[in-house]
Structure 1
Amino acid sequence: MGPIVVLLALCSIRGCEALIEGLYCGKENCYDVLNVSRDATKGEISKSYRRLARLYHPDKYKGKDGEKKFISISNAYEILKEDDSRQDYDYMLDNPDELYRNYYRYYRRKVVPKVDPKIVVAVTISVISLIQYYVWWARYNEAINSIMMVPKYRLKAMEMATSQGLISKQKKKDKRSKDEIKEEENEILRKIVEENADIRGVYCKPLITDVLWIQIFIFPYYIFNYIVWYLRWIWKFNIKREEYGDDEKQYLIRKHLRVSQGQFDALTDEQKQVYIDREAWVFQNFKELKEELMEEERKKLANNSKYKMYRRFMKNKGVSRMTFED
């Protein structure tokens, strides 16, 4: 028979004793081991433990069962000194029939490591912040590499580097190998591209202030600024009825477009000017402009040969059409 069956049999024979061999203090009652009652306070338990530990310490007590007794006292104290483990032990004493639950509560506390939740949260935020920063730098490097691969941008950067004296035209006098010269040129060109390229949106150069850790730290500052800004907006434009400035107009346009600040910054100056000229900060004007732009886009697609081919394909052999053709 398995150990669980044996334990169940023993429980039925002996009246379902709460004390189980291998759990907590085994067949001994932890309270009895420390000579305290179940309603004893933490102070009383600690005081009794210190007294018994001094009495049965292996260096002082010379009896045969001294070491075993000392280990039993220490184990009972470890169980009763903590509120959680003492609660689990009291639950076992009060509910001896719930064998499986008692095993689970005991081994859950034994196996699961005691880790401070604050440490878990701090480590999680740190990992997320590192991943964020790495991904942003990877995107930025990808954008810089793509720009350097475009011939006209590379030639422009070469002209700027030559005019600034960063790259010498007389390469024959240079005693270094071609690979070393080329590597140095690439570094110089990359630096010029980074300084002059206007990269916006998700591929822009990452800032340390954008990572999660810093954002959490300065979040109260953002909240305070937002409240001040919102109250100022109500006072100036809802109560005093002042005219919108350029920043306020762009904010309302971005709000109508439902895009982030980074996405709005990625728009060209010509695109932004169209919204400004049509006074798109007024929602009705924005709605009309949006319909016009969508109509223009539909006309462009209608005149596009590739789009016409796609529409014919979808009409004749698209996913919604059933055919016996192979």
Structure 2
Amino acid sequence: MAASVELRLTLWICFVFILGFSSVAALIEGLYCGTQSCYDVLGVSRESSKAEIGRAYRQLARKYHPDRYQPGETGDTRDTAQQKFMLVATAYETLKDEELRKDYDYMLDHPEEYYSHYYTYYRRRLAPKVDVRIVILVTICAISLFQYYSWWSSYTEAINYLMTVPKYRIQAAELAKQQGLLNRTKEKGKNRRSKEEIREEEEQIIRDIIKTKIDIKGGYQKPNVSDILLCKIILFPYHLCTFVAWHCSWFYRFTVRGEEYGDEERLYIIRKNMKMSQAQFDSLDSGLIETFLKQQLWLKDNYEVYREQQEEEMKMKMATDSRWKRYRRWMRSEGPGRITFADD
């Protein structure tokens, strides 16, 4: 009889211990309200509504807020009252948000998922408040606008420079006269304009001629909307498909079927051998390009011979150039590596 009583007592103690351990394990130090229940901190139940939680928080905030602290009113010191206020604020921040409250209730109901609760808690705390996709889109748009503005500034600067070069001004004025833009009859009466107005109109006509007739290459060329970053990203699938289709067509035509290269394909191979961009190659003189075709530089052996000839010509030119000779003398006497005494 006594043994059965002791067995029941032992089982009861174990049952109470397990329940107490589960309730404590459900509250993790460093997460939410720590080892205290956020519901107990605010004095509400898990079934309480959002309005009831807000009402309980305001009552406790007025009681423990550091600005309303009165010594002896609550029996707490200023430090303990501030700690309680921080705990009340943490409990309210946890329970007022529906998603955060669901995570907290799940932690209370599943205390065995210890590491999962840590991950969920810090994922919400460290996650950005703004959608990253929106930030990336705004950044790309800002970069694209800056690109376009910078290119227009460079293009305008190039046009302003060409307006000061007599060679281009004379050619533009001749074209304008041929088109009848500068050969206007003199105005009389009320429609007569001042010399300044006529001069401004002529300058604008010359500027327009330079813009339309002169093809500016390189970093000062006329900006194109399709070249900005945003358009390139949007059109990337199209360009990728075009690139793959072009290479497949090239492989099928000239490798599988063995077709002969046309002038366009030959110039493409020459440009690749010279490691030049399309804009650089287009800026070359048409006579020079014809020379490339006559020398058959799309053939690798011919191009190697041409490259060696160019290198030899460059060496001969540098050997006879007076400026290069002065530079070499300066490098020997005063250039880097010269050992001297300090001038101090």
TM-score normalised per structure 2: 0.67
1:225 and 1:322 map into 2 onto residues whose CA distance is 59
| Match status 1:262 vs 2:288 | no
Match of 1:4 in 2: none
Deviation at 1:118, TM superposition (A): 0.7
Residue in 1 that maps onto 2:12: none
Note the 1:310-321 alignment, pairs <5 A.
310-321=327-338
**Alignment correspondent of 2:147:** 132
CA contact (8 A) 1:202 1:262 kept: no
Q: Among 86, 93, 96, which residue is 1:75 paired with?
A: 93
Is contact 2:57–2:92 with CA below 8 Å preserved after alignment?
no
Question: In the aligned structure 1, how far is the partner of 2:258 from the partner of 2:101?
Answer: 63
| Contact 1:80–1:86, Cα closer than 8 Å, also in 2 | no
Aligned AA (2:38):
C
Which residues of 2 match residues 31-180 of structure 1 at below 5 A?
Answer: 32=40, 35-36=45-46, 48=47, 51-53=48-50, 67-68=58-59, 75-78=93-96, 81-82=99-100, 109=125, 114-168=129-183, 175-180=192-197
Q: State the Cα distance separating 1:109 from its structure 2 match.
A: 4.0
Match of 2:216 among 189, 193, 199: 199
Per-residue CA deviations over 1:196-215 (Å, capped at 9, x if unaligned) read 00222332211111111111
Q: Deviations over 1:139-192 (max 9, x none)?
A: 222222222221011011112222322224667968444433332222111110
Q: Which residue of 1 aligns with 2:71?
A: none
Alignment match, 1:228: 245
Q: Distance in 2 between matches of 1:84 and 1:237?
A: 65
CA distance in 1, matches of 2:156, 2:57: 69
Runs of 4+ in 1 over 4 A off after TM superposition: 17-20, 23-28, 31-34, 54-58, 69-74, 83-87, 168-175, 323-326
Q: How many residues align?
A: 278
Shift, 1:81, TM fit: 1.7
Give distance in 1, aligned partners of 2:145 and 2:32: 43
Give the deviation of 1:277 after TM superposition: 1.8
Using the TM superposition, name which of 253-262 and 172-181 deviates more.
172-181
Aligned counterparts of 1:143 and 1:193: Cα–Cα separation in 2: 10
Report deviation, 1:30: 2.4
Q: Give 1:25 shift.
A: 5.2
Matched, 1:282 2:314: no
How big is the alpha-carbon RMSD for the aligned residues of Structure 1 and Structure 2?
A: 4.0
Shift of 1:280: 1.3
| 2:38 equivalent in structure 1 | 30
Q: State how far apart, in whole Å, the 2-side matches of 1:272 and 1:199 are.
A: 19
What is the CA–CA distance in structure 2 between the aligned matches of 1:302 and 1:171, rounded to whole Å?
61
Indicate if the aligned counterparts of 2:318 and 2:324 stay in contact, CA closer than 8 A. yes
**Secondary structure in structure 2 of the residue aligned to 1:318:** coil
Structure 2 unaligned residues grouped into runs of 5+: 1-26, 62-87, 113-117
Contact 2:218 2:280 survives alignment (8 Å):
yes
Give 1:294's aligned residue. Answer: 311
Of structures 1 and 2, the larger Rg is shown by 2
**Percent identity between the two aligned chains:** 38
